[in-house]
Amino acid sequence: MYPPRFDYLAPRSVEEALDVLAERGDDAKVLAGGQSLIPLLKLRFAAPEVLVDINRVPGLGTLSEENGWLRIGPLVRHRDAERSTLLRERYPTMAEAAPQISDPLVRNLGTICGSLAHADPSGDWGAVMIALGAELLARSRRGERAIAARELFTGPFTTTLEPDELVTGVRVPMRERTGGSYLKLERKVGDFATAAVAVRLTLGHDGRVAEAGIGLTAVGPTNLAATAAEDALRGAEPGDAAFREAGELAAQAASPGSDLRGTADYKRNVIRVFTERGLRNAAAMATNQGGA
């Protein structure tokens, strides 16, 4: 309930933040929303020496399309995503996921980028970004790089981010003829997912599946990509048969543990059912309008 002592810095620019991280990154934690970090501090599961609060850096709240990408700044909160008409119209996977993150109070502060950097295998945004083929942007004094979402997570709460790097955003490719969904089984609002599936389906001009993205939550050591399912969908006629097969393959891609939320079998079943249902929803959307 009571955090341990730490130093606190509130830089006014990205440059300032990068300077701090270059010097003290190994013992530092970036504070954006704080909805994952502060509970860790209160429970004394983490004891960084310095907190780098980026909330006073201007211009980090971008949520807009530019040059073929949807750009999401590091201070875009879950709530911003929940209220965004742009996401509702063109990025339904995100729009459906946002309101299901935690609870409304947490959503008012927590950030998409912070959630990705935190890399909880039960985190929702990781699966969404995998399904969307998104890239995380990271900057340090050494330069800037883009990390594909599917390559970002290396283990529970572990990413390829270096201690001196600051996440400066996420970018999602803009696409046409695309639908999506995020189906999440949670025991109550605010609980982590028992299992969840992020789906993105892009149709070709011939009406067949051009590309699919399927990201899984809470059924492995990290968010997972159901690549076999994605491959099977490519070129397929969208319909029950293809979706059922994808569901089976997604379930096989999952490696859940058995715990109070359910046995591994149960969670795989949820993955199967939600993949099927999600694909059905996404296909209907993609046929109707050209979102991403």
Partner 1 sequence: MSETQTPIHGLGHSPRRKEDDRFIRGKGTYVDDVQLPGMLHMAILRSPLAHARISSIDTSQALALDGVVAVVTGRDLAAHNLAWMPTLSADTQAVLALDKVVFQGQEVAAVIAETPYTAHDALELIDVDYDPLPPVIDPHRALEPDAPLIREDKPDQTSNHIFHWSQGDKEATDRAFAEADRVVSLDTFYPRCHPSPLETCGCVADVNPATGKATIWMTSQAPHAHRTLFALVAGLPEQNIRIISPDIGGGFGNKVPIYPGYVVATAASLLIGRPVKWVEDRTENLISTGFARDYHMSGEMALSADGKILGLRSKVIADHGAFNAAAQPSKFPAGLFHIFTGSYDVPAAYCEVDGAYTNKAPGGIAYRCSFRVTEASYLIERMVQKAATELGMDPADLRKRNFIQPEQFPYRSAVGWVYDSGEYQRALDLALEKLGYQELRREQKEKWERGELMGIGIASFTEVVGAGHGAEFDIAGIRMFDSAELRVHPTGKAILKLGVKSQGQGHETTFAQIVASELGIPASDITVVEGDTDNTPYGLGTYASRSTPVGGAATAMIARRLREKATKIAAHLLEASEDDIQFEEGRFFVRGAPDRAKTIQDVAFAAYTDLPEGMEAGLEGVHYYDPPNMTFPFGTYCVVVDLDKGTGEWKTRKMVAVDDCGVRINPMIVEGQIHGGLAEGFGIAAMELITFDEEGNCIGSNFTDYLLPTAWETPQFETFATVTPSPHHPIGAKGVGESATVGSPAAYVNAVLDALAPLGITNIDMPVTSDKVWAAMREKGFV
Partner 2 sequence: MRITVKVNGAERSADVEPRLLLVHFLREGLALTGTHVGCDTSGCGACTVLLDGVPIKSCTYLAVQADGREVETVEGLLDGATLHPIQEAFKQEHGLQCGFCTPGMMLTAKALLASNPKPTEEDVRWAISGNVCRCTGYMNIVRAVQAAAAAQSGSQT
How many of the other CB atoms lie within 10 Å of CB of 58? 9
Nearest distance in Å: CB 51, partner 2: 7
Give the chain's largest Cα–Cα span: 61
Q: Are 32 and 52 in contact (CB under 8 A)?
A: no
Nearest distance in Å: CB 270, partner 2: 21
Q: Pick what 162 binds: partner 2, partner 1, none; C-beta below 5 to 8 Å, kind-dependent.
A: none
Return the number of the residue (58 or 68) whose C-beta is nearest partner 2.
Answer: 58
User: What is the Cα–Cα distance from 172 to 72, expressed in whole angstroms?
Assistant: 8
Return the number of the residue (33 or 133) whose C-beta is nearest partner 1.
Answer: 33
Q: Looking at this protein, which amino acid is placed at residue 116?
A: L
What is the binding site for partner 1 (CB under 8 A)?
A: 1-2, 4-5, 44, 103, 185, 187-192, 194, 260-263, 265-266, 269-270, 273-274, 277
User: What is the Cα–Cα distance from 277 to 271, expressed in whole angstroms?
Assistant: 10
Return the number of the residue (69 or 192) whose C-beta is nearest partner 2.
Answer: 192
User: What is the Cα–Cα distance from 134 to 132, expressed in whole angstroms?
Assistant: 5
Return the number of the residue (132 or 216) whose C-beta is nearest partner 1.
Answer: 216
Which uninterrupted H or E stretch holds 249? Answer: helix 240-253
User: What is the Cα–Cα distance from 7 to 53, expressed in whole angstroms?
Assistant: 11
Q: Pick what 187 binds: partner 2, partner 1, none; C-beta below 5 to 8 Å, kind-dependent.
A: partner 1
Q: Pick what 63 binds: partner 1, partner 2, none; C-beta below 5 to 8 Å, kind-dependent.
A: none
DSSP 8-state symbol, 248? H
Coil, strand, or helix at residue 80? helix
User: What is the Cα–Cα distance from 279 to 275, expressed in whole angstroms?
Assistant: 6
Nearest distance in Å: CB 69, partner 2: 28
Q: Are 217 and 116 in contact (CB under 8 A)?
A: no
Nearest distance in Å: CB 183, partner 2: 18
Nearest distance in Å: CB 150, partner 2: 30
Nearest distance in Å: CB 270, partner 1: 6
Coil, strand, or helix at residue 71? strand
Coil, strand, or helix at residue 128? helix
Q: Pick what 176 binds: partner 2, partner 1, none; C-beta below 5 to 8 Å, kind-dependent.
A: none
Q: Pick what 126 binds: partner 2, partner 1, none; C-beta below 5 to 8 Å, kind-dependent.
A: none
Q: Pick what 41 binds: partner 2, partner 1, none; C-beta below 5 to 8 Å, kind-dependent.
A: partner 2
Q: Pick what 55 binds: partner 2, partner 1, none; C-beta below 5 to 8 Å, kind-dependent.
A: partner 2
Which region, left, alpha or beta, applies to residue 186 given φ > 0 means left and ψ of -120 to 50 means alpha? beta
Which uninterrupted H or E stretch holds 185? Answer: strand 178-185
Nearest distance in Å: CB 29, partner 2: 12
What is the binding site for partner 2 (CB under 8 A)?
A: 1-8, 10, 31, 34-35, 38-39, 41-43, 51, 53, 55, 79, 102-106, 108-109, 189-190
Return the number of the residue (88 or 277) whose C-beta is nearest partner 1.
Answer: 277
